[in-house]
Structure 1
Amino acid sequence: MSDEVDVEAPSEKRELREHDERHCRCYKSKGSLPPLTPVDDIEKPSLQKSTYYSRVTNKYSTQRIVKEGQKPIKKGFRTLRDECLKANKLYEDPEFPPNDYSISFQGVTRRHYEWKRPHEFSKDPHMFIEGATRFDIQQGELGDCWLLAAVSNLTQNPRLFHVVVPRDQGFTHMYAGIFHFKFWQYGRWEEVVIDDMLPTYHNQLVFMHSKTDNEFWCALLEKAYAKLYGGYEALRGGNINESMVDLTGGVVEMVDLRNPPSNLFSVMKKAYRRAALMGCAIEPDHPQVQSESILSNGLIVRHAYSITRVTEVDISSAAPKLQGKAELVRLHNPWGNETEWTGAWSDKSPEWATISLDEKKRLGLTFDDDGEFWMSVQDFASNFTTLEICDVTPEVFEYDNDSDSDSSSDEDDEECQRKQQENVQRRWQRLMFEGAWVSRHTAGGCRNFINTFASNPQYTVKLEDPDEDDDDDLCTMVVSLMQKNVRQLKRYGADYQPIGYTIYKLPPEIEPGVKLDTEFFKYNASYAKVPFFLNCREVTTRFRFPAGYYVIVTSTFEPEMTGEFLLRIFTEAKRLKSSAK
């Protein structure tokens, strides 16, 4: 990956060379200089939808979310609850009224829904019945399995779960028909306050609900998430990486299982031990395949699954002729029913006869029609196409004031997992920048459009210290670029654009903080970049770089595609300095 081509310039270039020598080491005079060679570095988009992306016009991009400083001061949950208790009335949310427009953008629904509070159609309602587990969750009529799969994972981490679902609420003590939840939104945690009026049909909840009739944390959590994005319809369709980030503030890395790493099981086991959230899905080869079609092996295409355990089992104890260990993955289908994998290591398959009773007890093995099943890691990689791993960053726990040392009772290597969570504060350093692609100003498109590429936002990062746990003198850097407020504008026709970034190693002759110009990009190849420009909310890639200065150029695939973004940079190095241009 060469950064430059040092060649002698022809006479017609010399005037330009002298003019621009501050910005590019190609323009430094070092005796006789060979001719410059333009860099041919073409970017390609990769679209996650079967149709091409929707162009978000200025009409939509100008309807930007009002900045925090301009928002009217809102009353918090406790203030509103106290006012309701004092007035002896139940809270009614003026921002998310109980009508069809909260369900459908056009106010048109498939049937007539009645909005009711839990005590109006359920005896003795509770927030939780014996705590929150992944088996509580039942998907309703809304196509938001991408949310349910992430919530299923979240229940396995009680401390993190109660950041999102605070403990100070319920249907008994200080009940006033008001509840609140917290979601991570573009760099900060946002409280969402709702009333407990829920859409029903024939006294049954129609969207996400609990398997237990009088437990309501699932339905209320989904309602708060729907309010966050402007209505239930805004939750139809999505990627599990969106909900995992919203529930944790973490950063998601995608593993392409069509070309999996040789150490896939090790990657998954380490992620599991450090309490990362994991999800997966099957994207069919043919776009004509209908979403949520059930395959002959029991798996569902274009459907989000959560990964709830990664472990090895000893198969020699009960089958002496067999040797070694089986590498297994446990998955959960948020439908929570009998639609499960039917191949090797599925419920009641003959493979379970090869392990001992002690191993079965350690796994907490059950064969219920609950949507949970086991697979070998080989079958997992052969059948699924995408694995997404969400690492929780340390700032999430700054908002959890409740001490909670509980841990899931069925976790593998429980002590190791506990230590991993304690060490999370030392794993990452984070930088965060908010920016925008503005028409005719900073919306230059990818480097295919070389004449406008330099107008894109540029961010200079200095990596100073190599990682301590290796001896290759390289720094780990994870770069995540996220589009902002697109799902909130879904009712206006907005859609995700193909986005990405390109990284350049800054030559020592160029002063850090000086914006790179078109001539630099013409004659210098990128040091690294995203594999593809993706039309999804967030694009994340992990890099291993030598110490030095790097310039990150964020862009959409084409010029004049406008929108706001959040750039996050994570590193395991001790120190990280930066500047934005």
Structure 2
Amino acid sequence: MDEVVDRCAEAPEPPEAPAQQLPEGDFIDGLLGLLEEDALASRLAELEDEQLYEDADFPADASSLSYSDPNDEALADIVWMRPHELVDEPALFVDGVSRGDVKQGDLGDCWFLSACASVARRPDLIERVVSPGQPLYGPGYQGVVAVRLWRFGAWVSVHVDDRLPTRDGRLLYASCADPREFWVAFIEKAYAKLHGSYEALAGGHSLEAFVDLTGGLAEKLSLKELPFRQLRIAFEHGAFVTCARRGDWQLATQRDEATGLVQGHAYTVTDVRRLEPREPDGAVRLLRLVRVRNPWAGSEWTGAWSDGDPRWDALDEETKQALSVTATEDGEFWMEYEDFQAQFEEVTVATLGPDFDADGSSDASDQVKIIQDRWTEGENAGGCRNDLEKFATNPQYLINLTETDDPDSESGDTAKCSLLVGLMQEHRRSEKNREMRMRAIAFFVYKTDTPSERLSAEYFLCVPEEGSSGVFVNSREVLGRFELEPGYYVLIPATYYPDQTRTFMLRIFGLKPFDVRKLPDQEILIHEQDAFVEEIT
């Protein structure tokens, strides 16, 4: 009985998410600026000859810059300009896409831009988000740019006009290293529009940016507990990786003179290498290096293996060329893994599809179920297991696992069914006309022998869960990996506190076919995807 008492002990109260009083822009279409294609075409058709599009949903004024103080005198000298007013022959892309294109401006959105730089290792993905065929001058130019972002289960088009905030003839916020190139500036503007203002992007998590840019899955990992091999294999398998420094993001303008790094700042991991160079005495040394990029395109690490460090002299020229070692102050630098672990707190690893074994590689799986549902106060928002009667009122979904993964003949282990589950709450960094907090969420998986019945409080009192997403956390999405025996299971998503109304989405991935339905037998939006990454057309 002691085991039951331990398992049913009160769940620890999660830290309260800070209040976010970020009123969204007063969008005239009422849909967060997501304008239907027909409505946009109608607006463009109304333009006079040589008249350019002006976005009424995200106007070129201080309200689009700041939600907290649009009358701030510091914004008075900002001028909105179109690319062709800044440079000759502007384009969304010049000579393709690279991580070196991304430069942060006067906005604390390093979390977003570090993710952009990471995804840039796949130019095809960036060009799906921003189609390169959109002119910024000349024939066909109307002053509008379309950006595709993934929002709560679907790709949406965000249309913006091409006016950008400038000061003294320079872009105020994100830009590209080549002044003729503008893809970074327009992804940032579309993301700002989706959230109500540029200021709403100040401070955030790369995890969310990765999901919104790719529609994939992302998770944060503590560097203290992360083996170098896991990071290296993840990167080699195509995962997108960012890292974050300890400290307050609001102080992410302060460079540590001792290290060259910035506290509370997000960086992009651009390479991970394991080397075995030979020392002058003939001994072979194990060298584990990580290459990191600051979205400022400056302010580099000054410690061991930094640009110009004499340790590089011990490596042959072929190795240094393979590592692209330069002394250029471009914001990119190498670090030894031990220093990387000491200076950074966590990494965010993102994949385009389900990664069942956490190796950074998207595993082949077209078995995907997406469920969109809602916790409603007084009905099915039961909260955590501190009150089992209320917990039992949460939505419950029956999962039927019948086919096991291919058995591992070498290990002799009993074949299991692999599942990866993601629970996402619908949350924007701003919400119309009310204070918004990120809810603490989690989900639980129980085995059942009565597939036609909901699980009761008595059941939870006596039967432990098979697994969960972990402790309740104030995060937009939580993930869990499971290897389960064939049978029936009940998946229960919950907020920590009861009676918190919120829309949520479950994404369930399996290596083999499986069935899902809501308990009791109710109609619910459960649909399958043939492939995880939807084609953007």
TM-score tier after normalising by the smaller chain length = 0.7 to 0.9
Deviates more, 1:366-375 or 1:141-150: 366-375
Contact 1:310-1:330 within 8 A present in 2 as well = yes
Q: Give the whole-Å Cα distance in 2 for the aligned partners of 1:288 and 1:207.
A: 17
What does 1:483-522 correspond to in 2, within 5 Å? 483-489=425-431, 492-506=434-448, 508=449, 510=450, 512-522=451-461
Aligned partner of residue 297 in structure 2, secondary structure: coil
Note if 1:455 corresponds to 2:363.
Answer: no
State the AA in 2 paired with 1:391: T
Measured after TM superposition, the shift of residue 83 of structure 1 is 3.1
Map 1:188-337 → 2, pairs under 5 A: 188-260=154-226, 264-284=227-247, 290-291=251-252, 293-295=254-256, 296-316=258-278, 319=280, 321-337=282-298
Residue 123 (structure 2) aligns with: 158
Cα distance change on mapping 1:567 and 1:206 into 2, 3 Å: same
Deviation at 1:143, TM superposition (A): 0.9
Alpha-carbon offset, residue 4 of structure 1: 9.5
Indicate if the aligned counterparts of 1:332 and 1:371 stay in contact, CA closer than 8 A.
Answer: yes
Aligned-partner Cα distance in 1 for 2:110–2:132: 25
Among 43, 59, 77, which residue is 1:97 paired with? 59
2:446 maps to amino acid: Y
Match of 1:549, SS state, is strand
Match of 2:467 in 1: 528
Counterpart position of 2:150: 184
Mapped pair 1:44 → 2:12: yes
- The answer as to whether partners of 1:56 and 1:562 remain within 8 angstroms in 2 is no
How far 1:185 sits from its partner (Å)?
Answer: 0.6
- Listed as ranges, the matches of 1:79-90 within 5 Å are 79=41, 83=45, 87-90=49-52
Letter of the 1:459 counterpart: Y
**In the alignment, which of 551, 567, 570 is matched to residue 506 of structure 2?**
567
1:53 paired residue among 17, 24, 38:
17
1:26 maps to what in 2?
Answer: none
Aligned AA for 1:103? L
Secondary structure at the counterpart of residue 227 of structure 1: helix
CA separation of 1:73 and 1:350: change in aligned 2, threshold 3 A: closer
Cα deviation for residue 494 of structure 1 reads 0.9
Hey, what's the Cα distance between the residues in 1 that align with 2:171 and 2:330?
19
Match of 2:300 among 313, 323, 340: 340
Partner-residue secondary structure (3-state), 1:75: helix
Q: Which runs of 5+ in 2 are unaligned?
A: 520-537
Shift of 1:184: 0.6
Tell me which moved more, 484-493 or 512-521. 484-493
- What corresponds to 1:436 in structure 2? 374
Cα distance in 2 between the residues matched to 1:288 and 1:98: 27
Q: CA contact under 8 A between 2:20 and 2:429: conserved in structure 1?
A: no
Structure 1 residues 236 and 481: CA distance shift in structure 2, 3 A: same
Whole-angstrom distance in 1 between the partners of 2:490 and 2:217:
21
SS state of the match for residue 431, structure 2? helix
User: Given the superposition, is the C-alpha separation of residues 439 and 153 from structure 1 closer, same or farther in structure 2, using an over 3 Å criterion?
Assistant: same
Question: Secondary structure of 2:289's partner?
Answer: strand
Corresponding position of 1:174: 140
> Does the C-alpha gap of structure 1 residues 577 and 225 become closer, same or farther in structure 2, counting only changes over 3 Å?
same
Deviation at 1:259, TM superposition (A): 2.8
What is the distance in 1 between the residues matched to 2:126 and 2:306? 29
Tell me the number of residue pairs that the alignment of Structure 1 and Structure 2 aligns. 501
TM-score normalised to structure 1 length = 0.79
CA distance in 2, matches of 1:246, 1:108: 31
Deviation of the 1:86 alpha carbon = 8.2
> Which secondary structure does the structure 2 equivalent of 1:151 belong to?
helix
Partner of 2:114: helix, strand, or coil?
Answer: helix
**CA shift digits 1:245-291 (9 cap, x unpaired):** 0000011122122333xxx222222222332211111235xx79945
In structure 2, do the counterparts of structure 1 residues 505 and 381 end up closer, same or farther at CA, with 3 Å as the change threshold? farther
Partner amino acid, structure 1, of 2:469: V
CA distance in 2, matches of 1:383, 1:546: 41
Q: Deviations over 1:195-220 (max 9, x none)?
A: 10111122221111122223222111
Cα 1:91–1:103 shift into 2, 3 Å? same
8 A Cα contact 1:146 1:238, kept in partner: yes
Answer yes or no: is 1:119 the counterpart of 2:87: no
* CA positional deviation for 1:355: 2.2
3-state SS of paired residue (1:182): strand
- Select between 174-183 and 561-570 the one with higher mean Cα deviation: 561-570
C-alpha deviation, 1:96, in angstroms = 1.3
Q: Secondary structure at the match of 1:344?
A: coil
1:477 to 419, 430, 434: 419
Task: Report the equivalent of 2:384.
Answer: 446
Given that 2:14 and 2:472 are in contact with CA atoms closer than 8 Å, whether structure 1 keeps it comes out as yes
Using the alignment, how far apart are the partners of 1:270 and 1:428 within structure 2?
A: 23
Contact 2:249–2:264 at 8 Å: present in 1 too? no
Q: 1:128 aligns with which of 68, 85, 93?
A: 93
Unaligned runs of 5+ in 1: 6-36, 395-419
Task: Rate the CA distance shift 1:267–1:252 in 2: closer, same or farther, 3 A.
Answer: same
Computing the radius of gyration from Cα coordinates, the structure with the larger value is 1
Query: How many Å separate the matches in 1 of 2:269 and 2:320?
Result: 19
Query: C-alpha distance in 2, partners of 1:329/1:311?
Result: 6
Higher relative contact order, chain-length normalized (CA < 8 Å, sep 6+): 1
Compare 347-356 and 228-237 and name the one that shifted more: 347-356
Once the two structures are TM-superposed, the CA of residue 369 in structure 1 deviates from its matched residue by 1.1
Q: Is the 8 A contact 2:418 2:482 kept in 1?
A: yes
Tell me if structure 1 keeps the 8 A contact 2:305–2:334.
yes
Partner Cα distance (2:352, 2:249) in 1: 36
8 Å contact from structure 2 (residues 427, 476) kept in 1: no
Between the aligned partners of 1:254 and 1:102, the Cα distance in structure 2 is 31
Kept in 1: contact 2:98–2:123 (CA 8 A): no
Give the percent of matched residue pairs that are identical in Structure 1 and Structure 2.
34
Partner in structure 2 of residue 147 of structure 1: 112
Query: Is 232-241 or 90-99 further displaced after alignment?
Result: 90-99
